[in-house]
Amino acid sequence: MLSKSRQTYIRSLHQKKYRQQYGAFLVEGTKSVQEVLQSSFEIEALIATEAFYKENVSLTDHQRTPVEIVSVADLQRIGTLESNNGALAVVRTKENRPLVADTGEIVLILDDIRDPGNLGTILRIADWYGVHKILCSETTADVYNPKVISASKGSFTRVQWWYGDIISLLQNSAENTTQPVYGAFLDGADVHTLPFGPGGYLVMGNESNGIRPDLEPFVTQRVTIPRYGDAESLNVGIATAVLLDNWRRVNGR
Amino acid sequence: MLSKSRQTYIRSLHQKKYRQQYGAFLVEGTKSVQEVLQSSFEIEALIATEAFYKENVSLTDHQRTPVEIVSVADLQRIGTLESNNGALAVVRTKENRPLVADTGEIVLILDDIRDPGNLGTILRIADWYGVHKILCSETTADVYNPKVISASKGSFTRVQWWYGDIISLLQNSAENTTQPVYGAFLDGADVHTLPFGPGGYLVMGNESNGIRPDLEPFVTQRVTIPRYGDAESLNVGIATAVLLDNWRRVNGR
């Protein structure tokens, strides 16, 4: 049984304000907790059912993780998931360090992606397509939001991110490098025939408004997913996957 | 102001059981209601705010749609959306008629897709890629679920579906036609290099378990989306989009 103050602390981490204040976030559910225990993240506490703990004791050893055994009811009371009969981990957030694109590397830029489910899906897609770095505008959903972590299906442990001023970053890149910057627009080059280069940036814009006008001048290659029917648009996660799939098809590794 | 019995009737349509009993379903939100008013669906009633009605009166004319004007509060009380300041339509469901694949046509088969959000996204993807027919196993989520309708972003008005025994259907197709049946597996042909034919079936399986073993023998071409990173899998909606994108790239129209 968790003390009242522990419960209050953990529940406060449902909110961005407290995640930032305490430098901690929540990872929930059997699979996600198993993944984070095997990652480079620092675990502050593992709150687990006895069954989870017994089956995963080997994963908790290496960090001398503090473990608290609770009931399923307790677990659901402190977490955000409708059902969780495994575990919840309180994990330290990482420092917001700038990420540098290596030559020939594909780096994602997210300009104001608001929906946590979309952001989580994009982490999972990036992980599938071997994209390890994601640069986010300050207005993009918080990656430490429990919905993002959950939707990423463990991929948050394998992808790095940075939040900051992506316009300055692109400005700097334009002045100092020749990295191409791809961006999705309605009037771009057909991604089915475009000879994608080996690396560069792919900019994905807001769910309703697309890429901000301020950012447009930095896009060196406008791209378009051809449409064969009548839907007005594709979801931003779907579009990210289709664009990365075409890029990888042309430039495998 | 809606009568109590009207409210009860409309709210009963949140549930599949009553949608089937009454042969009606709900379409909610300004854009979706605008789309359904312009479609071939029969509108039983339009419940709208005064603002929505004034702006869209031209759309309600052709069917002599019965209109009831309500407040935003009323609208949200009877619907499923967190916010809706436009309208809600009560719409007649369509007869569950078998769909025949035309020569050279791409038809989707959904085997036990359980999540309404995924099903709605798949309708939208099908609509983008010009796929007009979807055949669903009886265990697939109900297309008339308000979450499916909402996630489809209006595409439910442009795609046809049928629910039934997809194994018998494939058996029958195997005996009488030479339609190829594509299915996603981990050990299939690379979709980046596969010479997709002009038409056929694409089978998408359950979110956790993939395509049922009973169905496997009918798949004539196993396909795989190549992976370049470490994510264990892609969401079924994402996979559907990537597969259709590759198919259309090879066999546009």
One-character DSSP codes across A193-225: T----SSEEEEE-BTTTBS-TTTGGG-SEEEE-
Residue A203 and residue A216: Cα distance in Å, rounded? 10
Over residues B7-29, the mean pLDDT reads: 97
At A132 the three-state DSSP class reads coil
The conformation of residue B141, written as its DSSP 8-state character, comes to: P
Q: Do A86 and A115 fall into the same domain?
A: no
What is the pLDDT at residue A243?
98
**Nearest CA distance, B1 vs chain A (angstrom):** 33
Number of H helices, E strands in chain B: 9, 10
Q: Is the pLDDT of residue A219 over 90?
A: yes
| B97, part of any domain | no
Q: Is the pLDDT of residue B76 over 80?
A: yes
Say whether B130 and A228 touch across the interface (CB within 8 A). yes
How many A×B Cβ pairs under 8 Å? Answer: 104
- pLDDT > 70: what percent of chain A? 98
Q: Do B87 and B110 fall into the same domain?
A: no
Say whether A228 and B154 touch across the interface (CB within 8 A). no
H or E, element range at A49: none
Over residues B129-149, the mean pLDDT reads: 98
- The answer to whether residue A251 neighbours chain B at the CB level (below 8 Å) is no
With CA atoms as reference, report the closest residue to B87 among B123, B55, B111: B55
> Among B35, B62, B92, which residue terminates a domain?
B92
Which value does ipTM take for this structure? 0.94
Greatest CA span in chain B, whole angstroms?
A: 60
Residue B111 and residue B210: Cα distance in Å, rounded? 8
- The answer to whether residue A69 neighbours chain B at the CB level (below 8 Å) is no
Over residues A67-85, the mean pLDDT reads: 93
Q: Do B19 and B83 fall into the same domain?
A: yes
H or E, element range at A47: strand A43-48
Residue A233 and residue A191: Cα distance in Å, rounded? 16
Q: Do A121 and A86 fall into the same domain?
A: no
For residue B128, what are the domain limits? 106-250
Say whether A238 and B237 touch across the interface (CB within 8 A). yes
| B32, part of any domain | yes
- The answer to whether residue A126 neighbours chain B at the CB level (below 8 Å) is yes
**Nearest CA distance, A206 vs chain B (angstrom):** 17
| A98, part of any domain | no
What is the pLDDT at residue B58?
86
Residue B127 and residue B132: Cα distance in Å, rounded? 7
Q: Do A120 and A242 fall into the same domain?
A: yes
Chain B residues with CB-CB distance to A253 below 8 A: 228
Which residues, 6 or more positions from A131, have their beta carbon under 8 angstroms from its beta carbon? A106, A107, A108, A159, A244, B229
Q: Do B216 and B137 fall into the same domain?
A: yes
| B99, part of any domain | no
Q: Are A201 and A179 in contact (CB under 8 A)?
A: yes
> Among A63, A92, A121, which residue terminates a domain?
A92
| B38, part of any domain | yes
A153-196, pLDDT tens digit by residue?
Answer: 999 999 999 999 999 999 998 898 889 999 999 899 999 999 99
Q: Do A65 and A113 fall into the same domain?
A: no
Domain of B55, CATH number, reads 3.30.1330.30
Retrieve residue A202's tokens.
């792919």
Residue A245 and residue A228: Cα distance in Å, rounded? 18
Beta strands in chain B (DSSP E): 24-28, 43-48, 67-69, 87-92, 106-110, 133-137, 160-164, 181-190, 200-204, 221-224
What is the pLDDT at residue A63?
62
What is the pLDDT at residue A144?
98
Chain A residues with CB-CB distance to B158 below 8 A: 229-231
* Nearest Cα residue in chain A from B232: A128
Chain A residues with CB-CB distance to B233 below 8 A: 153
Q: Do A112 and A84 fall into the same domain?
A: no
Q: Pairing between strand A221-224 and A181-190?
A: parallel
Residue A174 and residue A217: Cα distance in Å, rounded? 10
Say whether A228 and B125 touch across the interface (CB within 8 A). no
Tell the burial category of B39 from Cβ atoms under 10 Å away from its Cβ (0-12, 13-18, 19+): middle
What is the pLDDT at residue B57?
87
Domain of A186, CATH number, reads 3.40.1280.10
Q: Is the pLDDT of residue B64 over 80?
A: no
Greatest CA span in chain A, whole angstroms?
A: 60
| A101, part of any domain | no
A4-30, pLDDT tens digit by residue?
Answer: 999 999 999 999 999 999 999 999 999
Q: Is the pLDDT of residue B253 over 70?
A: no
Residue A241 and residue A235: Cα distance in Å, rounded? 10
> Among A38, A67, A92, which residue terminates a domain?
A92
Q: Pairing between strand A160-164 and A133-137?
A: parallel
Domains held by chain B: number: 2
Q: Do A66 and A182 fall into the same domain?
A: no
What is the pLDDT at residue B62?
58
Say whether B231 and A132 touch across the interface (CB within 8 A). no
* Nearest Cα residue in chain B from A154: B231
Say whether B232 and A154 touch across the interface (CB within 8 A). yes
Which residues, 6 or more positions from B199, have their beta carbon under 8 angstroms from its beta carbon? B101, B102, B103, B104, B105, B106, B107, B179, B251
Q: Do B137 and B78 fall into the same domain?
A: no
* Nearest Cα residue in chain A from B245: A242
Q: CA–CA distance from B207 to each of A190, B95, B163, B182, B232 (Å)? A: 31, 27, 18, 17, 13
| A209, part of any domain | yes
Q: Do A33 and A153 fall into the same domain?
A: no
Q: Do A76 and A116 fall into the same domain?
A: no
Q: What's at A125, amino acid-wise?
A: I
| B50, part of any domain | yes
